[in-house]
């Protein structure tokens, strides 16, 4: 007996919808079986809270008097450069942008204490942000310099637009070399001193809908604490990697491009982050509801940590030098227990994606749906899946 999103939305409006999180569904299916639970449960909520570097926000600042053309000029928000290759007062602040005078790794390892991600967090927190802009001046936009405080409530559009979020699985990073390395997977101690992983595992959105049967372009999501939408596949979307029998990819796979109104969001779910020796970024909280349309869908949402496998990759040599092969596979139950075995050595693990906050997001979305404040959407187009021709290519370097 198949359900439709329309039917589920009717139940949401009536207040009779049955919603559980992607964690709660596991025990339910174990106890009652897929068939019964697929009938009883209407929506499963997923959540994740992790660093997502391909994120940022665009703003329309409104015109000054006289007008200034920041487009093709320079604009800085709290000394962090914003992208100005757009119209006069449209700018984009990227999560990983750094102040011009940030020393980066000149004194290694750099701290990257303040970047675009931090600007976005402060913007969303309602703080005043310093805007400094210069322009070459035109007849219609004569002003050549501007210095002003701006605030989220005063700007026109403020839109979070993230070209790559919600990675479907990721690597487990280790360091085989003799010295400490500083990576986007954190600080890695030498000789397999520690391992880092980055996924919410059984709560993670795309791991609960591995073939993107319900999540697609137009799916309404909880983004940064407000409402957002999936608008495209994310960059590096790689749906054709090797998958387990349960359909769950065993390598980093799908990604999502998402957007939403920054003014509805909260610094609780959008946090600036600094990775020593690597850079600055934005940690994003996302929750995606999965409509239980049939038994197949429920089977995917009942996936457990021990059924989701990731590759252990050496980040000292293999990863930077693009050498294929992994040091083995581990599952997320092992990772969350705190120790994995690599090359016969016991390696302590730490996560970069907060499971506690992923839980909170899945619960928050569940509450919104139960209260009738969040209706599900039918995707208007699918995200390319395993049968597509898409695979993540390396750069084709050709000498000039």
Nearer to other proteins, 75 or 188 (CB): 188
Q: Is 196 in the site for other proteins (CB under 8 A)?
A: yes
**Of 82-90, 277-285, 287-295, 321-329: span binding other proteins (CB under 8 A):** 277-285
Q: Using CB under 8 A, pick the residue from 194, 236, 264, 294 that binds other proteins.
A: 194
Whole-angstrom distance, CA of residue 215 vs CA of residue 259: 14
3-state secondary structure of 375: coil
Q: Is 21 in the site for other proteins (CB under 8 A)?
A: no
Q: Is 113 in the site for other proteins (CB under 8 A)?
A: yes
Q: Is 283 in the site for other proteins (CB under 8 A)?
A: yes
Which pair of structure tokens corresponds to residue 130? 């310093």
Q: Quick one: which of 40, 37, 43, 119 has its CA closest to 76?
A: 119
Q: How far is the CB of 241 from other proteins (least distance, A)?
A: 25
Q: Is 187 in the site for other proteins (CB under 8 A)?
A: yes
Which pair of structure tokens corresponds to residue 311? 């590759």
Q: Quick one: which of 359, 387, 396, 333 has its CA closest to 22?
A: 359
Among residues 140, 166, 198, 257, the one annotated as catalytic is 140
Nearer to other proteins, 34 or 363 (CB): 363
Q: How far is the CB of 284 from other proteins (least distance, A)?
A: 11
**Of 127-135, 183-191, 205-213, 324-332: span binding other proteins (CB under 8 A):** 183-191
Q: Using CB under 8 A, pick the residue from 141, 170, 251, 355 that binds other proteins.
A: 355
Q: Quick one: which of 231, 222, 164, 259 has its CA closest to 358?
A: 222
Backbone dihedral region of 135: left (phi > 0), alpha (psi from -120 to 50 degrees) or beta? beta
Q: Quick one: which of 353, 187, 199 has its CA closest to 275?
A: 187
Q: Is 111 in the site for other proteins (CB under 8 A)?
A: yes
Q: Is 275 in the site for other proteins (CB under 8 A)?
A: yes
Whole-angstrom distance, CA of residue 117 vs CA of residue 167: 18
Q: Is 274 in the site for other proteins (CB under 8 A)?
A: yes
Nearer to other proteins, 240 or 274 (CB): 274
Q: Quick one: which of 201, 181, 198 has its CA closest to 314?
A: 181
Whole-angstrom distance, CA of residue 9 vs CA of residue 15: 10
Q: Is 351 in the site for other proteins (CB under 8 A)?
A: yes
Q: How far is the CB of 277 from other proteins (least distance, A)?
A: 8
Q: Is 186 in the site for other proteins (CB under 8 A)?
A: yes
Q: Is 50 in the site for other proteins (CB under 8 A)?
A: yes
Per the annotation, the verdict on 140 as an active-site residue is yes
Under rule CB under 8 A, how many of the chain's residues touch other proteins? 34
Kind of pairing between the strands at 226-233 and 220-223: antiparallel
Q: Quick one: which of 354, 383, 9 has its CA closest to 230?
A: 383
Q: Is 202 in the site for other proteins (CB under 8 A)?
A: no
333 φ, ψ (degrees, to nearest 5): -70, -40
Whole-angstrom distance, CA of residue 324 vs CA of residue 317: 11
Which alpha helices (DSSP H) does the chain contain, by range? 5-14, 24-32, 34-40, 116-124, 295-301, 332-337, 355-370
Nearer to other proteins, 312 or 352 (CB): 352
Q: Quick one: which of 250, 289, 355 has its CA closest to 20?
A: 289
The mark string for 310-349 relative to other proteins (x by CB under 8 A, - otherwise) is --------------------------xxx---------xx
Region 357-396 residues binding other proteins, contact defined as CB under 8 A: 357, 359
Would you tell me which residues interact with other proteins (CB under 8 A)? 49-51, 109, 111, 113, 186-187, 189, 194-196, 271, 273-277, 281, 283, 336-338, 348-357, 359
Report the catalytic residues: 140
């Amino acid at each position: 007996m198949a359900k439709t999103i329309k039917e589920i939305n009717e139940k949401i409006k009536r207040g009779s919808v049955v919603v559980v999180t992607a964690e709660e569904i596991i025990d339910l299916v174990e106890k009652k079986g897929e068939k019964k639970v697929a009938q009883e449960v209407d929506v499963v909520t997923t959540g994740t809270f992790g660093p997502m570097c391909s994120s940022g926000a665009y703003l329309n600042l409104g015109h000054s008097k006289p007008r200034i053309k920041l487009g093709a000029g320079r604009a800085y928000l709290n000394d962090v450069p914003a992208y100005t290759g757009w119209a006069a007062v449209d700018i984009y602040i990227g999560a990983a942008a750094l102040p011009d005078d940030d020393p980066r790794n000149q004194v290694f390892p750099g701290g990257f204490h303040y970047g675009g991600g931090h600007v976005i967090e402060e913007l969303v927190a309602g703080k005043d942000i310093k805007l400094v802009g210069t322009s070459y001046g035109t007849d219609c936009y004569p002003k050549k310099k501007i210095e002003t405080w701006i605030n989220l409530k005063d700007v026109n559009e403020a839109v979070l637009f993230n070209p790559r979020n919600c990675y479907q699985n990721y690597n487990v990073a280790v360091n085989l070399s003799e010295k400490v390395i500083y990576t986007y997977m954190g600080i890695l101690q030498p000789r397999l001193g520690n391992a880092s992983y980055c996924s919410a595992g059984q709560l993670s959105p795309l791991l609960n809908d591995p073939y993107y049967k319900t999540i697609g372009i137009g799916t309404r999501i909880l983004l940064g604490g407000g409402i957002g939408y999936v608008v495209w596949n994310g960059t590096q979307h790689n749906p054709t990697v090797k998958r387990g029998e349960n359909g769950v990819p065993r390598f980093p796979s799908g990604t999502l491009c998402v957007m939403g109104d920054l003014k509805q969001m909260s610094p609780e779910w959008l946090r600036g982050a600094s990775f020593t020796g690597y850079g600055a970024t934005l940690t994003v909280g996302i929750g995606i509801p999965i409509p239980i349309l049939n038994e197949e869908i429920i089977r995917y949402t009942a996936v457990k940590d021990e059924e989701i496998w990731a590759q252990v990759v050496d980040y000292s040599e293999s990863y930077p030098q693009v050498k294929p092969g992994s040091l083995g596979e581990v599952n997320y139950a092992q990772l969350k227990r705190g120790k994995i075995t690599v090359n016969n050595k016991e390696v302590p693990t730490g996560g970069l994606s907060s499971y506690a906050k992923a839980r909170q997001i899945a619960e928050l979305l569940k509450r919104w749906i139960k209260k009738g404040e969040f209706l599900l959407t039918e995707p208007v187009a699918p995200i390319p899946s395993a049968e597509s021709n898409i695979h993540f290519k390396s750069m084709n370097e050709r000498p000039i």
